[in-house]
Amino acid sequence: MITGSDILWRWYTWRDLDADTLHAIVKLRGEVFVVEQKCAYADVDGFDPQCDHLCGTTELGHFLAYLRVLPPGVKHPQPSIGRVVVAPNARKHGLARRAMLEGILRCNARFPGEPILVQAQQYLQRFYASLGFEAIGAPYVEDGIPHVDMRRTRMS
């Protein structure tokens, strides 16, 4: 069984990403967001070079989880967490929660006192609420998928 403690979590800036790691990121995001969710969208959106990238791998280097932290002013006025993804074969082991907790810690360290935004797929609203995020505004459809903006204001 996979647990969050079995995973090696590593943060990368854009300059730190090597070709193999970038390929693994794009591959996982494509497998889930494009193929599994049947959503044609522009994954390469121009924001990645300004983000911090969290990668979760096994000790053998198998890529299982990912998210990115967008600094304030890149996409939204406040910092945000996006592209949260876990490989299909690694789900139901708490990796998304562990990745989000790492993302929240990163935001709090880099942008102290700032609220954190997520553009959550609506079916995951309860998951994000369990991490302290609250829905702001009405649900909307982006790339054919219902979403809701959520904000986390507590800093712990």
| Model pLDDT for residues 35-46, shown as the tens digit of each residue | 888 777 777 889
Q: What is the pTM of this model?
A: 0.92
- Express each pLDDT in 72-97 by its tens digit: 999 999 999 999 999 999 999 999 99
What's the chain's average pLDDT? Answer: 92
pLDDT band at 3 (very low <50, low <70, confident <90, very high): low
| CATH class of the structural domain 4-152 | alpha beta
C-beta of residue 77 within 8 angstroms of C-beta of residue 91: no
The arithmetic mean of pLDDT across residues 106-123, rounded, is 96
pLDDT score recorded for residue 155:
66
CB-based contacts of 121, cutoff 8 Å, min separation 6: 145, 146, 147
Distance (Å, whole) CA 69 – CA 71 = 6
pLDDT score recorded for residue 37:
82
Domain ranges for the chain: 4-152
Distance (Å, whole) CA 12 – CA 49 = 11
Percent of the chain that is helix, strand, coil (3-state, to 5): 35, 30, 35
pLDDT score recorded for residue 33:
84
